[in-house]
Amino acid sequence: MTLHIHFVGIKGSGMCALAQVSAEIEGATITGSDIEERFFTDIILEKAQIQVLPFAASNVEQADLVVASPAYNDLHPEIARAKELKIPVLSYPQYLGRLMFKKRGIAVTGTHGKTTTTAMIGLILMEAGLDPTIVVGSNVPSLGGNAHSGQGEFFLAESCEYRRHFLNYSPEYLIITNIDFDHPDYFRDLQDVILAFQEMAGKVSAQGHIFMSADDPNCQAIQGPAAITTFGLSAAAGIRAADICCKDEVSTMKIYADGKYAGDLVLNVYGKHNIMNALAAMAFCREIGIPLPQIFSSLSHYTGTKRRFEHLGVRNGALIVDDYAHHPTEIRTTLEGARLSFPNRRIRAIFQPHTFSRTEKFLQDFSRAFQSADEVVVADIFASAREKDSQKISSLILAELIQKQGIQAIYIGTIEAIKSYMTQTLAPEDLVLTLGAGDIYKVGLDLVC
């Protein structure tokens, strides 16, 4: 009898990816439900021939298993009905852990860079003919979407630390890109974050392997029963890049493995952060036996993911770019890379803070993150469904603090007002960069239409 799995909130990027691979791994019939608003995942689900229904309690009545998005709790009518009928309900991370257990698990985690690193590893494995199963948190053109149902032995998944969700996984391989303080609505402080990653490292057996940054001091305390390989720019790294040259959005560098020169890498995505992501992917793929020249070739084919310095188009000579950066470290890194790649353009950053809790906790850090920008436009805070508006913090306060850092900054609350302002002031030498995890990308899309 075919298993029937119903996904509540199937349009979420992770849920959409799980639904696609479930049909193959579980041999299951898939149904899903969500709100009517269209997302990029609608096209992916249509291509996969997975029907999306409006929310209704009756949707789950014929299901054998219900997988629920973290966006919804037990009060959701479908989840409540499933529990009433005693149909098993698993959260997204619980179900991902179940699927990963069926193959050789590769978990890619870290505060920043996990989507890109997962996508890079996925591309290398695909081009090596290993046909992995892949679950990634964004649309990756080189992979044909945000998931791949492979026949091979590996299961590669982007693995989030929020609420310690990744502790639902017991991977054979663990890649830690970096460790930083984020999600202040859950983690107490940086030490709490480090502890979570330490717990995760402890879930990798002695027969497995851990890969982590040699350059990140927060990674240095991480230990586990498995062997550890490091990557980075420091001389101590097992996989190291040196003699880096960046021009436009192309980076070239020499790669050293265990202290020995291994060849040159050309990377067609910009910035030090993407070099680190590539080194992480390289360290893992070398460990499983893929030759370094083949890894270099695959990485040179990598062209990025949706909402990671994504070129949206050009308007009157101005380049319009979108990036998901929503943490001070990510913003600073993205803007520094933009300045390095486009030294002759006026960089105009449009930032939409994501959640009141993050904005309040990192307010001073945010104010200092825009030094590489010529102008900053601050939009209203994009609130999370899990929090209420804060009376202590506002985007206006942030704009004023950025100004005190010597950067031209202005508060313009709504997306429509920002579109109007940019249309009136756009110049051919501009690089307009929308930043944030909310819907600020709509500004860029409208500018290039």
Q: Give residue 271's pLDDT.
A: 83
Q: Give residue 188's pLDDT.
A: 95
- 115 an active-site residue? yes
Supply 287's token pair.
């460990």
| Domain definitions of the chain by residue range | 4-90, 103-300, 310-448
Residues whose CB is less than 8 angstroms from the CB of residue 153 and which lie 6 or more positions away in sequence, other chains included:
103, 104, 130
Q: Give residue 389's pLDDT.
A: 62
- 114 an active-site residue? yes
Given this structure, which CATH class describes domain 310-448? alpha beta
Q: Give residue 385's pLDDT.
A: 66
CA angle 246, 249, 254 (to 5 degrees): 40
Q: Give residue 395's pLDDT.
A: 96
Q: Give residue 391's pLDDT.
A: 67
What is the spatial distance between Cα 365 and Cα 360, in angstroms, rounded to a whole number? 10
Q: Give residue 22's pLDDT.
A: 93
The CA-to-CA distance between both ends of the chain, in Å, stands at: 49
Q: Give residue 138's pLDDT.
A: 82
Distance of CA 45 to the CA centre of its chain: 20
Q: Give residue 256's pLDDT.
A: 98
| Contact assessment for residue 197 and residue 159, using Cβ atoms and an 8 Å cutoff | no
Residue 198: count of CB within 10 angstroms of its CB: 14
| Contact assessment for residue 195 and residue 218, using Cβ atoms and an 8 Å cutoff | no
Q: Give residue 34's pLDDT.
A: 96
- Classify residue 132 as left (phi > 0), alpha (psi -120 to 50) or beta: beta
Catalytic: which of 26, 158, 172, 310? 158
Distance of CA 173 to the CA centre of its chain: 19
The architecture in CATH of the region 103-300 reads 3-Layer(aba) Sandwich (3.40)
pLDDT in tens, the chain (449 residues): 789 999 999 999 889 999 999 988 998 999 999 999 888 889 889 998 998 999 999 999 999 999 999 889 999 999 999 999 999 999 999 999 999 999 999 999 999 999 999 999 999 999 999 999 999 988 787 787 889 999 999 999 999 999 999 999 999 999 999 999 999 989 999 999 999 999 999 999 999 999 999 999 999 989 999 999 999 999 999 999 999 988 777 899 999 999 999 999 999 987 888 999 999 999 999 999 999 999 999 999 998 777 888 889 999 899 999 998 999 999 999 999 899 888 899 999 999 999 999 999 999 999 999 999 999 999 999 987 666 666 689 999 999 999 999 999 999 999 999 999 999 999 999 999 999 999 999 999 999 97
- 416 an active-site residue? no
Catalytic: which of 78, 111, 114, 177? 114
Q: Give residue 303's pLDDT.
A: 83
- The residues with which 34 forms a beta bridge, in sequence order, are 54
What is the spatial distance between Cα 119 and Cα 302, in angstroms, rounded to a whole number? 9
**Neighbour-count burial of 47, counting CB atoms closer than 10 A to its CB (0-12 exposed, 13-18 middle, 19+ buried):** exposed
Catalytic: which of 115, 305, 329, 355? 115
CATH of domain 4-90: 3.40.50.720
User: If you compute the radius of gyration of the chain from its CA atoms, what whole number of angstroms results?
Assistant: 22
Q: Give residue 388's pLDDT.
A: 62
Concatenating the DSSP letter of every residue in 287-331 gives HTT--HHHHHHHHHT----TTSSEEEEEETTEEEEEE---SHHHH
Q: What does the buried/exposed string (b/e) look like for 239-265 if buried means 16 or more CB atoms within 10 Å of the residue's CB?
A: bbbeeeebeebebebebbbeeeebeeb
